[in-house]
Structure 1
């Protein structure tokens, strides 16, 4: 009887490849100073069109088509029908493709580390890569139809602190176009001063979080044209994993040498009871509403967390 009740409870929590969860330290607490948790899931999708759904590094939402795109750091792109209201209403897989060269040939293994994802208002899809840093536009078959010229300082591999610490975050801004950020600041920069780069060479600077090795892992344009940025700090199994959401005020940040104003939205620390994983992706899905996703590192002991939230305004 206990087994039957457990299975009934489990199946009640499981909804079409998603399992309910709770990441906050206190059960049923969803309201915080900077944001409200609206819905929280573990994604359990296995294979989509023969591609393993794992190691998700970013996501982007097509507001017109109501489609949510996920990219993995193995160069795989997944598309879902997705609807959001006060909860996650729909999240159904449509298909998956590999990101490849325009010729259809695969990228070499160390050149397919896709980390950032963005969609413009026309539904065009862009991805940024670590390894050999690049940004490309991709069609619905996963072919790179255009590769963009990076600002000069981002073209030289020697400027990055490592090959795996390059173009981690990507977003589309209605005024500035594609914006990107490196995971860690470039070698010549202060380790605690991060930079947002536009492809035309314009730059904005902001202070990184105080935690050791705090890295930019995702960013998204907010309703007012400023940026929601996610930083992650992880220095070892015995140390806390800290995920920070913060607002960076691009609008009105005119001082070329100064730091843009920032505002803390929420700080999640595993040593303070947060049941979080390796969050790496952000997407705006409605007015003041966003989703974030974690990378399970293709590890049995980790989870793909998918959290829907609203930022205070």
Structure 2
């Protein structure tokens, strides 16, 4: 990310004030200061592992509602795990079940750091995963029938070469029909909308855009069990930390709605949330589960953050 070089110095100076260290692997449930609109904060659970490859997670999806998860590091590795929950679906533990598994190119060679900047993740209906990558002239989407399998590259539009080198295909989501959607992290200018790219029937098109809102940048997306398109956004406020926002849209053919804000936090409420999974809990409520990219810095944290979407009165 473009913020990383700046973040390394300024966050360590303010680490204590932002609460970036000393959390332990426990739920931090009572102190979130989010400005909640329709999203109700539930909890944050810090996840740590004594593995030098751990961290840098920038995508998140569930294989089983709210429990079996897949995530990928922007260092080019795939991880799998389980969120243990109590009877109310509250997180009570996190365990790794697989990974780190290095991603490969189409020739079966392990991706190096330059080619392995994996940013978006989607679960394929036929099994396996889709991964989106960014990098200078490296923006692409690949299908992996198994985590350690050679990449099967999707066609690559020439327009992908025009994305910012380190701010391209940050999001990846798949709808109930198996259509993929991806959005670059940056649109090119504050007044320029974000182009939404769609892959179906073996080809890409760009049916619509999402207006850009000042310094908010797109970082992940998911289709919920209600069929709606949920977009995770981030805003970096320097010394104050990160802001997080989740909006929801309705996609109908080649049109997208204006979007509703579900969650918008103040700076420093959470760490650098970059992965989003949307699911329905045992009470029938939509939940938003997010994971943070700690940039593999000791003064940041990997955390799972959960909100639920409150029902609205007609």
Whether the TM-score (by the shorter chain) exceeds 0.5 is: yes
User: Given that residues 36 and 265 in structure 2 are in contact (C-alpha distance below 8 angstroms), is that contact kept between their aligned partners in structure 1?
Assistant: no
For residue 153 of structure 1, give the secondary structure of its aligned residue in structure 2.
helix
Deviation at 1:230, TM superposition (A): 1.1
Structure 1 residues 166-175 or 259-268, which shifts more? 259-268
The one of 143, 146, 151 aligned to 1:140: 146
**TM-score with structure 1 length normalisation?**
0.79
Q: 1:39 to 1:190 in 2, by over 3 A?
A: closer
Compare CA radii of gyration and give the structure with the larger one: 1
2:253 pairs with 1:249: no
| Matched pairs, number | 276
* Alpha-carbon distance in 2 for matches of 1:20, 1:65: 16
Distance 1:123 1:277 in 2: 31
Structure 1 partner of 2:209: 205
Contact 2:217 2:233 in 1 (8 A): yes
**Structure 2 unmatched ranges of 5 or more:** 1-22
Corresponding residue of 2:5? none
Question: Which residue is 1:164 aligned to?
Answer: 166
Secondary structure of the structure 1 residue equivalent to 2:295: coil
Q: 1:121 to 1:311 in 2, by over 3 A?
A: farther
Q: Which residue of 1 aligns with 2:294?
A: 296
Alpha-carbon RMSD across the aligned residues, in angstroms, is: 2.7
Q: By how many angstroms is 1:252 displaced?
A: 6.7
In the TM superposition, what whole-angstrom CA distance separates every residue of 1:155-191 from its partner, at most 9, and x where no partner exists? xx2x11x210110010111236111110011x4x774
1:279 paired residue among 256, 273, 282: 273
In the alignment, is residue 45 of structure 1 matched against residue 39 of structure 2?
no
* TM-superposition CA deviations, 1:25-79 (whole Å, max 9, x none): 55xxx894311223311111232xxx62111111111128952011010001101
Does structure 1 residue 86 correspond to structure 2 residue 89?
Answer: yes
Is residue 47–residue 302 contact of structure 2 (8 Å, CA) maintained in 1? Answer: yes
Q: Measure the CA separation in 1 of the matches of 2:153 and 2:69.
A: 23
- In structure 2, relative to structure 1, the CA distance for the partners of 1:23 and 1:43 (3 Å cut) is farther
